[in-house]
Structure 1
Amino acid sequence: MLYKEIYRLKRVDNNDFPAIKELFWKVFKKKVTLNYLQNKYNTSYVGVNYICSIAYCDEIPVAFYGAVPQKFKNTDREIYVAHACDSYTLPNHQRKGLHNALATFAYEIMKENDMKYVYAFHSENTHRSTKKLGWKEHERLQRFHIKVNTLPIGKVLNKLRRNHFYDVFFKQKVSLEAIEKLNAEHKEKYQIQFTNDFIDYKNSFKSHHCVELEGCVFWLKIQAIAHVGKFYAPSAEALQKAIKKLKRKAFFLGITEFLFQVDADSTMAKQLQTITQPKESWLVGYLDFDPEIDLKDFIFTYSDLDTF
């Protein structure tokens, strides 16, 4: 293939992040800090680092395939999976087989590190591109929008990059009791476990908060609106009471919406349906490396997303 003659493909290491930052700017015309990229892909807390691939042409970075390893656990077993989250190529190097080559290269790295499958929350573009790679379809997450009729101060603060304003009003530290509650549901299913290491990793490149009301726990980030990564509620009634109090806080803080994105088969979805009706969210796509793995045995949440 042509890419073998022109391009050098390699596994990402820490020295490649200035190149990834440069590539991100050239493709999207958006700035991202070196610290953000390094922290996002520093997944040493799970015991595996850098399952990504990058392509160079004459020492110029031209394409990147990004994925992060994650640990999923059920009552009996803990396994590694890979979350594919970034893929970008310079325009004049597209349609040359680079994306498929980088993806296939990364899959070999994943297999060497005992990943059971790779998955993604599909956009229209990723859904189309993964079909050529033999990906399968799982199910769609459900999203729930809970609106708050207030002045959109949150959107203004987000544009001004002043989201740390909310640190004064919401806890960033997650208590052991709150962590236990976030892990309480569906223990028979594989899911990412909330631990101090997982929370520290997420907080290394995004700011999150923990809110405890009416016996419920909400783990969220505030960027214009409040995005809820995961929550626990002892009952639908407790959730309804907690949401009322959350909306009251949001009114005074200028947060116009709470967005939940949850697995359709989860207790969270059933409880939220007593408050508002869901809409379809991302389709979960995957490529399995272990034929014994069945995604029906997994629970996915918004907090699994790489950018959450």
Structure 2
Amino acid sequence: MLYKEKYILKRVDNNDFPAIKELFWKVFKKKVTLSYLQNKYNTSYLNVNYICSIAYCEKIPVAFYGAIPQKFKRHNDEIYVAHACDSYTLANHQRKGLHYELAKLAYAIMKENNIKFVYAFHSENTYYSTKKLDWKEHKHLQRFHIKIFTLPIGKIVNKLGWSGVYDIFLNQKLSSEAIHKLTLEHKDKFCLKFNSDFITYKDSFKSHYYIEIEGCIFWFKIQAIMHIGKFFAPSEIALQKALKRLKRKAFFLGINEILFQVDPDSIASKQLQSITKPKESWLVGYLDFDKNINLNDFIFTYSDLDTF
């Protein structure tokens, strides 16, 4: 697609990832590996791949609109949605309508693949950039911070890139029974389909761990602190007991905080409020392609986030 006679806008394919890596470095001055980007956007396990768009100017990558497909499930109903997660443009190509046009191209690709809506966990930048695209507002997630008084060795480990050390101390492979328990809540709501294929996909670009304590299951990553993506607790009492033991584990690993981010309408939120008060987190924004979609029928979790 030719735009303003100088830009080529196209759907991303596997050949574009060196360009996306180059663009990421130029915009953020942060390095990401080619395999990280390829694995993050390789959602072939869903039979839907590359719903992103990229702009070139004289063969130089100048803007990117990234999104990943996800499958949500309620009872026997399954639908595709899209999680918009990356958007960046070189400074000297901003204010030329590239973000808008790339988004529109990505939305057209999504509709072709029967995706019902696109959503994002808004930052301040994405909140304002979606206004022109007629996005709607849903609800804020809640975050719960569990502080641990220990030497913050985890932050040093993260800065030095030594996170693989946790593989020695923590379990990595979820059992089928644990996966089943993590999918038990909210049978009457659409939730991201959490199964072995999804876990394998996530593990292809991030390291994740799990712990079973007091009948509770925690699936998490460690990035300076412990980020709980998804958990199951049979009761508030069981969660309180499990967190005491989880805090001890974190203490000896030099992790000074455990962070939960949950949907305000989730059972998880109610259980966590028996332990500490929540703070406001990301606003969920969305654009629906199917007018029968009601986001009150959906529960979002921290593990839905692209970088989790």
Equivalent-residue separation in structure 2 for 1:201 and 1:39 (angstroms): 8
Equivalent-residue separation in structure 2 for 1:87 and 1:268 (angstroms): 31
1:144-163 to 2 correspondences below 5 Å = 144-163=144-163
Amino acid at match of 2:123: S
Partner of residue 248, structure 1: 248
Equivalent-residue separation in structure 1 for 2:33 and 2:171 (angstroms): 26
Q: SS in structure 1 opposite 2:4?
A: helix
Q: Following TM superposition, where does structure 1 have runs of at least 4 consecutive aligned residues deviating by more than 2 angstroms?
A: none
Partner of residue 201, structure 2: 201
Partner of residue 54, structure 2: 54
After superposition, give the CA deviation of every residue in 1:163-197 in whole Å (9 maximum; x if it has no partner): 11111111100001100110000011101122111
Equivalent-residue separation in structure 2 for 1:42 and 1:115 (angstroms): 17
When the two structures are superposed, what TM-score results if normalisation uses the length of structure 2?
0.99
Structure 2 stretches of 5 or more lacking a match?
none
Amino acid at match of 1:103: A
Amino acid at match of 1:262: V
Amino acid at match of 1:87: S
Amino acid at match of 1:48: V
Partner of residue 104, structure 2: 104
Equivalent-residue separation in structure 2 for 1:169 and 1:242 (angstroms): 18
Amino acid at match of 1:298: F
Equivalent-residue separation in structure 2 for 1:3 and 1:144 (angstroms): 45
Q: Is the 8 A contact 1:3 1:96 kept in 2?
A: no
1:284-299 to 2 correspondences below 5 Å = 284-299=284-299
Structure 1 stretches of 5 or more lacking a match?
none
Q: SS in structure 2 opposite 1:132?
A: helix
Partner of residue 180, structure 1: 180
Equivalent-residue separation in structure 2 for 1:252 and 1:76 (angstroms): 43
Q: SS in structure 2 opposite 1:154?
A: helix
Equivalent-residue separation in structure 1 for 2:167 and 2:74 (angstroms): 33
Equivalent-residue separation in structure 1 for 2:225 and 2:76 (angstroms): 37
Partner of residue 166, structure 1: 166
- Identical pairs, percent: 75
Equivalent-residue separation in structure 2 for 1:193 and 1:132 (angstroms): 31
Q: CA deviation at 1:76?
A: 3.0
Q: Is the 8 A contact 2:83 2:120 kept in 1?
A: yes
Partner of residue 234, structure 2: 234
Amino acid at match of 2:12: V
Q: Kindly report the root-mean-square deviation, in angstroms, between the aligned alpha carbons of the 2 structures.
A: 0.8
User: Is residue 117 of structure 1 aligned with residue 117 of structure 2?
Assistant: yes
Equivalent-residue separation in structure 2 for 1:33 and 1:158 (angstroms): 17
Q: CA deviation at 1:4?
A: 3.0
Q: CA deviation at 1:298?
A: 0.2
Q: CA deviation at 1:41?
A: 0.2
Equivalent-residue separation in structure 2 for 1:240 and 1:299 (angstroms): 23
Amino acid at match of 1:221: K
Amino acid at match of 1:67: A
Q: SS in structure 1 opposite 2:178?
A: helix
Partner of residue 189, structure 2: 189
Partner of residue 63, structure 2: 63
Q: CA deviation at 1:3?
A: 3.7
Amino acid at match of 1:18: P
Equivalent-residue separation in structure 2 for 1:90 and 1:3 (angstroms): 16
Q: Is the 8 A contact 2:137 2:286 kept in 1?
A: yes
Equivalent-residue separation in structure 2 for 1:169 and 1:184 (angstroms): 27
Partner of residue 45, structure 1: 45
Q: Is the 8 A contact 2:3 2:9 kept in 1?
A: no
After superposition, give the CA deviation of every residue in 1:58-80 in whole Å (9 maximum; x if it has no partner): 00000000000000000130000
Q: Is the 8 A contact 2:136 2:286 kept in 1?
A: yes
Equivalent-residue separation in structure 2 for 1:193 and 1:210 (angstroms): 18
Partner of residue 260, structure 2: 260
Amino acid at match of 1:24: F
Q: SS in structure 2 opposite 1:251?
A: helix
Q: CA deviation at 1:9?
A: 0.3
Partner of residue 301, structure 2: 301
Equivalent-residue separation in structure 2 for 1:169 and 1:185 (angstroms): 29
The number of equivalent residue pairs is 307
Equivalent-residue separation in structure 2 for 1:218 and 1:262 (angstroms): 13
Q: Is the 8 A contact 1:3 1:97 kept in 2?
A: no
Amino acid at match of 1:224: A
Q: SS in structure 1 opposite 2:5?
A: helix
Q: SS in structure 2 opposite 1:109?
A: helix
